[in-house]
Amino acid sequence: MNNLSLDTTIIYPENKNSIKKAIILFHGYGGDGKDISMLSYNWTRHLENTIILCPNAHQKCSINPLGYQWFDLSNDEESFVINQTMEAEKKIIIYIEEIKKKFKLNNKDICLSGFSQGCMISINIGLTSNEEYNCIVGFSGKIINKEDLSNRIKSKANTLLIHGSLDSVVPPNNLLDAKDFFIRHKVNIETKLIENCEHSIPLEASSHALQSVSYTHLTLPTKA
């Protein structure tokens, strides 16, 4: 066990005693931390002193008992979804505070990243925090509820959103909607549409994200 409130797959840097940055990868609906951790193996050798944490969500998936969910998709009623999202956010904030304490990090040392539902929750956590995160990197996601998020924005972390042009699960028009939302709220946003890509994270998307994370995550001031 890793003594964190969410069961977590952890990928440590080569030197476990010199951790100065963290990336938290949130899996998609029905996935788990081990599944999303596969993305990190393309990143670790390029991100010195960076630990990558891939937690399982707090809920078992309603349609896949072997997987997990950040919020339930069985009911699309607005109030239900918002309540589910708020519950997830509370759990994740506690989890992040544990990470900060365990590895002696601040929000500015942490990149929030995720796929699909994990991207959605990353956006909510990243923009509603009292203390700004290093960056947000999301794949194939969307804004869960624009009105709710508009009312709660407190932070403006640099954000990269990547989407596949053939995504039929979360259609790519959500990328344009998110970009418009970020611009209207004066949040620095970069978007990337991957041609002929469905609901997945191909090498092109992973590599583009790595370039962005490497620049943002490693050029901002680190803790002493």
- Closest by CA to 159, choosing from 131, 130, 192, is 192
- Asked if residue 224 is part of any domain, the answer here is no
Residues 72-115 have pLDDT tens digits of 998 989 999 999 999 999 999 999 999 999 999 999 999 999 99
Neighbours of 14 (CB within 10 A): 9
Residue 187 is which amino acid? V
Residues 35-60 have pLDDT tens digits of 999 988 878 888 989 999 999 999 99
pTM: predicted TM-score of the whole model, two decimal places? 0.94
Residues 159-194 have pLDDT tens digits of 999 999 999 999 999 999 999 999 999 999 999 999
pLDDT band with cut points at 50, 70 and 90 for residue 215 = low
The per-residue pLDDT of the chain, averaged, comes to 93
Residues 121-173 have pLDDT tens digits of 999 999 999 999 999 999 999 999 999 999 999 999 999 999 999 999 999 99
- Asked if residue 35 is part of any domain, the answer here is yes
- Asked if residue 57 is part of any domain, the answer here is yes
Q: What confidence score (pLDDT) does residue 40 get?
A: 85
Question: Could you give the C-alpha distances from 159 to 4, 13, 18, in angstroms and in order?
Answer: 26, 24, 26
Structural domains in the chain (count): 1
CATH number at residue 116: 3.40.50.1820
Please give the Cα distance from 201 to 167 (Å, whole number).
Answer: 11
- Asked if residue 3 is part of any domain, the answer here is no
